[in-house]
Amino acid sequence: MRRLHFILLAGFSLFVAALPLRSAETIDVTTIAPGEEARLLPIAFSGFNGEAARVIRFDLEIAGFRIVPEDQAQYIITGRSSDPVEGSVTDRFSKSVLFSRRYSGSSIRSQAHAFSDDVVAAILKTPGISRTKIVFKNDTGRNSELMVADYDGHNAVQVTQDNSIVAAPTWVPGKRTLFYTSYKSSYPDIYSHDLNTGERRVIARYPGLNTSPAVSPDGRKVAMILSKDGSPDLYVSNIDGSELLQLTRTREDESAPCWSPDGKTICVVSRINEKRGLYVVPATGGKLTRLSTAGILNPTEPEWSPDGKKIVFTSQMGGFNICTIPAQGGQAEILAAGEDPSWAPNSRTVVFTRRIKNKRVLSLLDVHSKRVKDIAQISGSCSQPSWAK
């Protein structure tokens, strides 16, 4: 049975001597949907140059700002790029200085990210995301490995050496620990991987399919898809894999579970009555309830926003599109072409996968304006990103 699942799923596609990989390439590809530019906050930007200027501009544009001439801006961003980086923000209308600071850090890049986060906090009154991390799958041939990088794709580090197929990486909230599926033992099993110590543990190794781990917001439980009793069903266990509880018992397959921010509900994809849809179920067990995704067919890969207001997912209707619905279900909004969406901690930005010819690349999406920016890329195809929260 396990070998059968391996054959069917092989095409579906840590701290183990953390190896810095090929240097990332920055490709400045930015798109914005027609008519959405007005939703970006106008700022003027001067005094910075070189790497600091590139980093800050990228950070602020994906955060929801638009660089304009000073006479068209509400806020004036000024500074200098020498080590240490210095920067200030002034409200052009009130003439008040929101802040003026000098930064320290290991590199110009890290100092520039810190300044960007301060700008976001001062103007938008929300935490910045410039110093957050993502994990993703990197395919370089028949095998794939997991990589961890800064949110913009820089400083990518390979964190597995499974020499096999890996899939569905996700973070334990608030910790440097990953859960993911690996075919390292020739079968799809779920592992945890502590990035600080390198300790790796088997969480689920049942006959058949073990995949799609999703850790609860409090880090105490893990939802997963197992086929040990027949068709792939939704299960929940303690974080170490103990006390397994089966939540669904359908003839059809379930996939891609995610948790509500309060940890009380799980959203999962099911093919009940041969129609794929998004369903919610209490995390302690209960009835599956379908969520409306009006205007969209074949939803998959859901993820609840950290603020609990929206669910982002992929639709499959002739192509792949990133969409959102209200958390309680409703009219779906198409945001961009792509798949594999994952929310940033700010509940505004999404990292996702775009297909370019025969390669997959990672991009960032500002949900408010639908602006898309490609992150720095490495060789091979990159997919299935997950944002640390």
Report percent pLDDT > 70 for the chain.
Answer: 90
Lowest mean pLDDT among 17-31, 90-104, 172-186: 17-31
Nearest CA-CA partner of 211 in 175, 253, 250: 253
Mean pLDDT in residue range 260-264:
98
- Is it the case that residue 305 has pLDDT exceeding 80? yes
295, two tokens: 């205007």
Q: Please report the pLDDT score of residue 351 as a whole number.
A: 98
Q: Please report the pLDDT score of residue 216 as a whole number.
A: 98
87-116 residue pLDDT tens: 999 999 999 999 999 998 889 999 999 999
217-238 residue pLDDT tens: 999 999 999 999 989 999 999 9
Q: Where are the beta strands (DSSP E) in 172-326?
A: 177-182, 189-194, 200-204, 210-215, 221-226, 233-238, 245-246, 254-259, 265-270, 277-282, 289-291, 293-294, 299-304, 310-316, 320-326
Terminal Cα-to-Cα distance of the chain (whole angstroms): 36
- Is it the case that residue 20 has pLDDT exceeding 50? no
Percentages of the chain per state (helix, strand, coil), in multiples of 5: 10, 45, 45
Preceding peptide of 84 cis, ω within 30°: yes
- Is it the case that residue 14 has pLDDT exceeding 60? no
Calculate the alpha carbon distances from 341 to 269, 305, 306, 332 in Å: 14, 11, 13, 15
